[in-house]
Homo-oligomer: A and B are copies of this chain.
Amino acid sequence: MSGQTFKYWDTGEFMRKAREAYPALYEKKYCSLARTVPGRDEWMRSGSSFILDFGTHIVGKLALEVECDNVPDSPLHVVFDFAEHTCEFDPRPYAGGLSSSWIQRETVYADNPLEAVKTSRRYAFRYVKITFPANTAYRVRYAGCVATGTTSADENAVSGLPSGTGEDVRKIDGVGLRTLKNCMQSVFEDGPKRDRRLWLGDLYLQAKTDLFTYKNTGLIKRCLYLFAALPHEDGCLSSAVFPEPMLKNQSWILHDYALFFAGVLRDLYEFEKDEKLVKELWPVAFRQAQIAAGAADGNGQVPVDMYFTDWCPGLDKTCAAQGTAVAMLNDTLFLSGIAGDGAAGDYLEKQIERLGARLLSLFDRESGLFVCPGGQISVHSQMWGALSGVIDRETQRTVLKNIAGRSDAVDTVTPYAKHYLAEALFRAGLRDEAEALVKSYWGGMVREGADCFPEIYVPSDPGASPYGDARINSYCHAWSCTASYFIRKYGIV
């Protein structure tokens, strides 16, 4: 789609701006040495292998050096198996639905084993299994291994935590920072192991966290411009952009994700107060609101199939989708003021009222909970009901306290969904409950040994996977990084 033919805004201009917004991609590199190494005296060949533990999650390339016990008279066959999590070394056949080509393996036949054997591609890993399959006439011994990581996050931009901060909170914050850093590449990626895609839902949470940590606003702008440059025909933004192999939008449309564009723009405005940027991107943000509100039925109910909400089997999204729409229409309304678009403001106020009234009709005063038409009670309904602002803060507190006592409710399964619960608790003024959630949920992952926050975490089901095989799960996932945002925004110590 070219800028000339798109009727809503100039996509070509936004593509140029995306390129200018953060031109110094990947300028930050870091090196890590393997912490645990095999015995120095072990000479290997014919299938020998060992596992290196780098002690921390890295996104980058690897260089292995070996010694040879004789002149290497044939190539050195080396297989590198990279893993974020040790479960990935499970040798059983892969059974997942996602493409097996994401499994991180590189096979090298090194013509010169006397030089460092380097991987050609970027991997996401903490562990590397290295195997020498060939029956070479010579044997090799481990001499050293260096990982060179890449990121567009600048660690020097991160402020220290207050001196009174507890060790548990420092650890959670460190894992959140690392998660975000390793997802920050040429765009905010969802996960550096798999997909490596710019999703609007992930961007919303990454940008929130970035503004309190690395403050790479250029990268946020680049991502906003990319979405603006690659809309669908009706002006609806795509749920994701492929930065590689060709810059292209994803065909899948999600209205919650499209609405988050306004959320990112509002957060960035509140950080930088850049009115010019808001005015420039205002047509894009407003169009998403028009599309989302326009899709609501006669009752003012938005179409639930157009909302992601969570990876949660059987979840009724009626309340949660409605709450998301109203919450983000409010952000769009805020932006209309900055953009000086009074007519749009009027339109948005009416839509907020119409969609809000529908949401309020789903609030059950007796139980003090949002209840879906079929009777389902879920955490998702309450948190989005609260965030929508259709009930006052006191009622928000009631709703959120009530759901905490309901073990029969459908619960969240992703750190993405858990983010909105924590945010709802903080905004409703339930600070103790919010802090306890951050410390128990994100802290739980840390206590279980996570070096980065994974895309899915169900404390009662460690092998949970939306893809049929936990080995393909992403163990460093953008939407899980917001623990650092909560710690820094709300001053958790």
Contacts and interface: CB of A to CB of B under 8 A. Distances in A.
Contact residues on A (Cβ < 8 Å of other chain), bracket: 35 or more
Interface centre among A98, A109, A251 (most CB of B within 10 A): A109
Contacts of A242: 71, 73
A121 B114 contact: no
Nearest to A134: B101
Nearest to A115: B245
Interface stretch (A74-82, A223-231, A339-347, A484-492): A74-82
Interface string A98-142: 111110011101011111000011000000000001111100000
A303 interface: no
A137 B246 CA distance: 16
Contacts of A120: 120
A120 B106 CA distance: 13
Contact of A245 (B106, B113, B136, B195): B113
B136 A72 contact: no
Interface in A366-386: none
Interface centre among A72, A99, A107, A251 (most CB of B within 10 A): A99
A106 B109 contact: yes
Contacts of A111: 121, 244-245
Interface centre among A77, A109, A245 (most CB of B within 10 A): A245
Contacts of A75: 99, 101-102
A248 interface: yes
A194 B137 CA distance: 14
A245 B101 contact: no
Interface in A183-212: 194-195, 197
A337 B289 CA distance: 98
A202 to B, nearest CB: 16
Contact of A114 (B76, B77, B98, B246): B246
Given A112-B244, A245-B112, A101 B73 contact: no
A92 to B, nearest CB: 15
A102 B115 contact: no
A57 to B, nearest CB: 20
23 contacts: A71-B242, A71-B251, A72-B245, A73-B195, A73-B242, A74-B98, A74-B102, A75-B99, A75-B101, A99-B136, A99-B137, A100-B133, A100-B134, A101-B109, A101-B133, A101-B136, A105-B109, A106-B107, A106-B109, A109-B121, A111-B121, A112-B244, A115-B245
Closest 10 pairs between A and B when the two form their complex, measured CB to CB: A112-B245, A74-B99, A101-B134, A77-B101, A107-B107, A75-B101, A99-B136, A100-B134, A74-B101, A114-B245
